[in-house]
Chain A
Amino acid sequence: MFTQATNRIALLACAALAFAGCAGAAPPVGSPGGGAATGDTIKIGALLPLTGDGANYGPGMQAAIQIAVDEVNAAGGVLGKQLQLVTEDDATNPDQGVRGAHKLIDVNKVNAIVGTWASSVTLAVTPLTIPANIIEINVSGSPQITELQDNGTVFRANATDAALAKVVADQFYRDGIRTVTVISNNTAGTIGLADSFKTSFTAAGGQVLETITYAEGQPSYRSEVNKALATKPDLFLVSCYTPDGTLIFKEAFEAGATGKWAAPAFCLNNQLVEGAGTEAVEGAIAFDLVAVKDSPAYQRLNEAYKAKTGEEAFDNVYAVHVYDAVHLLALAMQKAGSTDGQAVGAQMIEVSKAAGDKVSSFSEGAKLLRDGGDVDYDGASGAIDFDQAGDMAPYVGIFVFKAGKPELTQTFAGQ
């Protein structure tokens, strides 16, 4: 049952497999655009993880961005123009992200891209947005993003993994944990978190016994789990995304694992609990940024968000962050008086820093700006002060799972 022809077809099949994931070569980026907005609208591109590992968050982020855009438009728009939203799916995948960014930049001629979630996607997309001179606001964690030569156009509406890991590592050490074994997904974001944790935890006086890295998309992680269990640490840290994390928690439970487990909340979430079972995550610790529930911006967002999605905005912290990102972007454009990437970038720092009058909505801020004042937008995710590298220090929360529900045990204000 084998012929020479099948051999050739086999080769073709392998080629097809490689390319089916990234068919349709993208054209090169056009000449640097940005500049003054043309037409009657200012276009904002949303590049979101609607599918793939970030699919738990993408749709909520889309809703939150839409809510923010609607608010800005209801308040008269930016520079007298309405914002227009164009959404693309990045599939939590760098290839797909680059294609989406090409389309947003070359075809839709957007003035900014908001929402890239996975660090791998952000790092793939910024080489397009930087020469195009448009603002890129991501919610990724990788420390590499800080170091981009971006002319001040790339902003991170999230903690760097280094900042997040430091808060968590210090707290674990205070709780008496001395040895940790790390199990990490091999992507830019998750590896970044694992490495940052090791650095901070070692500096605090603890010891990382072993770091086990795995490739995602596998049918089983039992060998990785067994290897980790053999090291017998005080705590297992799983730096995962939800699909692979689900399997790891499930298989660890099946293998009879006990002891303390921790994972970032963007992996260890309600979806994971549904897949792995309540018992498998009992007592597990989740950590991530948290929204500031008593802020006026959060309350306004949450009301609209609940009406739109039926869920609490607090359960999707990235939705909260991109909501603030759109507000900051709109205020910065208003203040810059243009949509030129570098000019707006400089004002992103200005409208977020503590020197100005505190505002919590676009309508308040735009009025102050028109009167020649300075504003400091304090959003649903905290005070938000961008530094020169485009980073900020949001609130971090630590949750413990009890009977399948996350209970917020500690909150750390951004420093």
Chain B
Amino acid sequence: MQAAADGVVVGAMVGLAALGLTLVWAVERFPNIAQGDTLTLAAYLTFGLSVGAQLPIVPAAVLAVGGTTLAVQAAYQTAFRPLRTSPRVTLLVASIGVALVIRAIVSLVWGTRLQSYDLPVRRAISLGLFHVSLVDIVILVTVLGLVGAVYWILYRSRAGIEMRAVADVPDLARVTGIDTRRVLRFTWLLSGFVTAVAGVLLGAKIGLTPLLGWNLLLAAFAATVLGSVGHPLGAIAGGFVLGLAMELSTVFISPTFKEAIAFVILAAVLLFRPRGLLAGR
């Protein structure tokens, strides 16, 4: 039971990171490598505002999310938008560049030592069969709330419907009068916001190093592909499947292999459902 609970928490974090990835991937058709370092940036901004500028943690986190969202938008405007008509691989490489720039700035400003928010460490809360910490509960509630919000935006709001239209058939979307540029701007805004929230939570859970987000990127990629690229619910579901599989596997075999298990599952899913679990409309 404890392993399952841990799996859900790990899955939630991976899923949230994957959600931001999949949104941009769907519309822009390239995986944004800078995603991992965006997570790191959000965590460090929170750290800087709460520990450095002595703000309470909640306003610091809100400001950090805002700041990171703006930074992502700035990266989009300067690095990605000018390459709009280039081959997708160019954008992919550009995103690696953005990732390195963010990481270098973070290292320069905050140093490379391990840091952490000033949060009290408490004994976990016991819920009968298993125990969870307060941070875990905050993570789960935020992830569920965020997924609900993203789902609503994508399927109920005009901006979301336009986004899906551009993702499906860009040319047709343009012909029908959708302002593609506005849609793209909105996509990057949404993706930046989701990623920033994930980064703040990740910092609270793990502690801060400049490689914080980078380390999670591979798992986020796996979750994205597992749940079908461009499918927001799929990204979250992929995250949960990976997290649960990794943690539950440790009950039976050595934890040394838990990362390998995640990729065995990914390989198996791709063999039998090459487009991911939730694909197939």
Contacts and interface: CB of A to CB of B under 8 A. Distances in A.
Interface of A: 1-3, 5-7, 9-10, 12-14, 16-17, 20, 50-52, 55-56, 186, 212-215, 217-220, 222-224, 226-227, 242-243, 246-247, 250, 253-256, 271-272, 274-277, 279-280
Q: Is the interface of A mostly helix, strand, loop or mixed?
A: helix
B38 to A, nearest CB: 15
Interface string B20-33: 00000110011101
A223 B6 contact: yes
A271 B122 CA distance: 18
A259 to B, nearest CB: 15
Q: Nearest 9 A-B pairs (CB), nearest first?
A: A1-B230, A277-B121, A217-B215, A223-B250, A13-B31, A55-B112, A51-B112, A275-B116, A254-B124
Contact of B207 (A16, A56, A227, A246): A246
Contacts of B256: 186, 213-215
A253 to B, nearest CB: 6
A253 B221 contact: no
A246 B206 CA distance: 8
Contact of A55 (B113, B124, B246): B113
B202 interface: yes
Given A220-B6, A275-B114, A254 B89 contact: no
Interface in B109-146: 111-116, 120-124, 126, 131, 133
B168 A1 contact: yes
B81 to A, nearest CB: 18
Given A5-B29, A224-B255, A247 B207 contact: yes
A256 B130 CA distance: 12
Contact of B255 (A12, A16, A213, A279): A213
A223 B123 contact: no
B226 to A, nearest CB: 11
A260 B6 CA distance: 24
A243 B250 contact: no
Nearest to B36: A17
Contacts of B30: 9, 13
B57 interface: no
Given A20-B96, A253-B123, A1 B207 contact: no
Contacts of A20: 33, 96, 99
Given A219-B10, A256-B123, A274 B116 contact: yes
A6 B133 CA distance: 38
A215 B259 contact: yes
B275 A3 contact: no
A253 B121 contact: yes
Q: Most A CB atoms within 10 A — which of B111, B112, B120?
A: B112
Contacts of A276: 121
Contacts of B246: 223
A193 B37 CA distance: 32
Contacts of A51: 107, 112, 210
A226 B5 CA distance: 12
A223 B258 contact: yes
B77 interface: no
A5 B131 CA distance: 44
B229 A52 contact: no
Q: Most A CB atoms within 10 A — which of B99, B131, B164?
A: B131
B205 A220 contact: yes
Given A5-B88, A6-B25, A50 B221 contact: no
Contacts of B29: 3, 5-6, 9
A279 B119 CA distance: 13
Q: Most A CB atoms within 10 A — which of B9, B14, B114, B210?
A: B114
A224 B17 CA distance: 23
Q: Is the interface of B mostly helix, strand, loop or mixed?
A: helix
Interface of B: 2-3, 6, 9-10, 13-14, 25-26, 29-31, 33, 88-89, 92-93, 96, 99, 107, 111-116, 120-124, 126, 131, 133, 164, 167-168, 202, 205-207, 209-211, 215-219, 221, 225, 228-231, 246-247, 250-251, 254-256, 258-259, 274-276, 279
B217 A17 contact: yes
A12 B89 contact: yes
B116 A243 contact: no
Contacts of A213: 254-256
Given A215-B256, A271-B113, A222 B6 contact: yes
Given A6-B229, A9-B29, A214-B255, A243 B88 contact: no
A52 to B, nearest CB: 7
Nearest to B118: A274
B7 to A, nearest CB: 8
Contacts of A250: 121
B112 A50 contact: yes
Contacts of A52: 112, 211
Given A12-B92, A213-B255, A220-B205, 14 more contacts: A1-B168, A5-B29, A6-B29, A10-B31, A214-B255, A214-B256, A219-B10, A219-B219, A220-B6, A223-B3, A223-B258, A246-B114, A253-B121, A275-B207
A91 to B, nearest CB: 9
B229 A10 contact: yes
Contact of A9 (B88, B114, B123): B88
Contact of A256 (B114, B131, B216, B229): B131
Nearest to B23: A1
A243 B231 contact: no
Contacts of B258: 215, 223
A143 B114 CA distance: 28
Contacts of B107: 51
Contacts of B207: 243, 246-247, 275
A280 B123 CA distance: 9
A224 B2 CA distance: 12
Contact of B96 (A3, A16, A223, A272): A16
Given A6-B230, A215-B259, A271-B113, A16 B221 contact: no
B231 A1 contact: yes
B114 A55 contact: yes
Nearest to A223: B250
